[in-house]
Structure 1
Amino acid sequence: MKKYLYIFILSFIFYGCSINSQVDKTQMFILKNNEIPSNIVFKKIDKILKIKNAYLPLYLNSKSIIYIENNMGNSYAYYFWADLPSNFYQSLLLSKLEQAKIFKAVIFKESSLESDYILESRIESFEQIIKLEQNYAKITISVNLIDAKENKTISHRLFSTKQNIDEKDIQGVYKAFDKGLNSLTKDIVLWINSNIN
């Protein structure tokens, strides 16, 4: 009986040690805002812009880092975004609009304040594309700038960027998305600036 008790205790100890030695390999990536160059001149208007929540396809409504290879979608097993792509987009866009100081205020959809302009966005793609000789991050966003008082579209534009992934690892993927989203949100701010009165 003692023999079985020792075996049980030893197996319990070894089992416990094996649990503690397992390492969580998952990593979360955060896309951060880069400053807009200070030499750009922006309009200053006494109006309010409301940013609506960005629409996105179901497969992008996740923290998974998506890649498409041979026309088949997949996601990384251990690497994830720390937030949804739509939230990264809105956060970077808001930060750049705050830097530009074009509007008296920039608010989100949930705000009870009335706005003069509304920005609607739809994320069309936010994925890594792997082809024979190509490896790049592709981000495509469709944007509408709307006059809230007149309830009409001022301008519509499809923004797209492809950033080559030079390093063949997850850091290269991250850097390409970070550069691409910062470039794209800067272009959207410049576009807004050129379409308002």
Structure 2
Amino acid sequence: MKKYLYILILSFIFYGCSINNQIDKTQMFILKNDEISSNIFFKKTNKILKIKNAYLPLYLNSKSIIYTKNNISNTYAYHFWADLPSNFYKSFLLSKLEKTKIFKTVISSQSSLNADYVLESRIDSFEQIIDLKQNYTQITVSVNLIDVKKNEIIAHQFFNCKENINQNNISNIYQSFEKNLNSLTKDIILWINSNID
């Protein structure tokens, strides 16, 4: 009987040690917004711009970091975005536009204020692409700049931004997404600047 008691006690000890040694490998990544160059000439208006929430396919409405390898989509098991890609996109635009001072104010779609312009976006891709020859992040966005008072589209543009990944590790993948999103949102702001009165 004592023998079984010792075995039972040792089993509990080993089981307890194995629980304590389990490591949570989950990592959440926050994309950081870069400054926009102060050397660029931005028009100044007395207008209000409203940035609407971006439309996106269901598979992108997730915090998963998506990659496509040999045309098959998958997600990283332990690495996630800290927020939805569409929220990072909107946050980058709001912050950069505020700093340019093109508009009197820039508001999000939740604001009850009326705006002079509306920016509508559709995110078509926000993923890593891996094939035999290339490894890169790709963000594609379709954007409409709308004059609210005239109820017409001032300009439409499709942006397709790619950023190479030198080594396929999570740190380089994250840096590629961050650089890509900063480049994309800068391009959109320059495009807005060139299309307003």
Which TM-score band applies after superposition, normalised by the shorter structure? over 0.9
The alignment partner of 2:157 has SS state of: strand
> Please, what is the CA RMSD of the aligned residues?
1.1
| 1:13 aligned onto 2:13 | yes
Structure 1 match to 2:50:
50
CA deviation map 1:116-149 (0-9, x unaligned): 1100000010111111111110110000001111
Structure 1 position 24, deviation (Å):
0.7
The 4+ residue runs of structure 1 with deviation greater than 3 A are 1-6
Residue type at the aligned position of 2:122: R
Q: Look up the match of 1:136.
A: 136
Separation of aligned partners in 1, 2:130 and 2:168: 11
Distance in 1, Cα, partners of 2:16 & 2:122: 49
- 1:83-129 Cα offsets, whole Å, 9 max, x none, are 11101101111111011011111111111111111000000101111
Distance 2:9 2:97 in 1: 63
| Match status 1:126 vs 2:126 | yes
Q: So what's the TM-score if we normalise by structure 2?
A: 0.96
1:16 CA drift (Å): 1.3
Deviation of the 1:6 alpha carbon = 3.3
Q: Distance in 2 between matches of 1:93 and 1:33?
A: 9
CA distance in 1, matches of 2:167, 2:101: 36
Match of 1:22 in 2: 22
Alpha-carbon distance between aligned partners in 2 of 1:79 and 1:179, rounded to the nearest angstrom: 18
Within 2, Cα distance between the matches of 1:115 and 1:168? Answer: 43
- 2:98 is paired with a residue whose SS is helix
Give SS of 1:32's match: coil
1:175 CA displacement: 1.1
Deviation of 1:168 after TM superposition, in Å, equals 2.2
Supply the distance in 1 between the matched residues of 2:7 and 2:149 (Cα, whole angstroms): 78
Q: Which residue in 2 is equivalent to 1:153?
A: 153
Distance in 2, matches of 1:117 and 1:102, equals 12
What are structure 1's unaligned runs of at least 5 residues? none
Counterpart Cα distance in 2 of 1:5 and 1:88: 57
Q: CA deviation at 1:78?
A: 1.2
Aligned residues: 197
For 1:129 and 1:168, how far apart are their aligned partners in 2? 11
Residues of 1 paired with 2:156 and 2:62: CA distance? Answer: 26
Secondary structure, in 3 states, of the residue corresponding to 1:66? strand
Instruction: State the AA in 1 paired with 2:27.
Output: Q
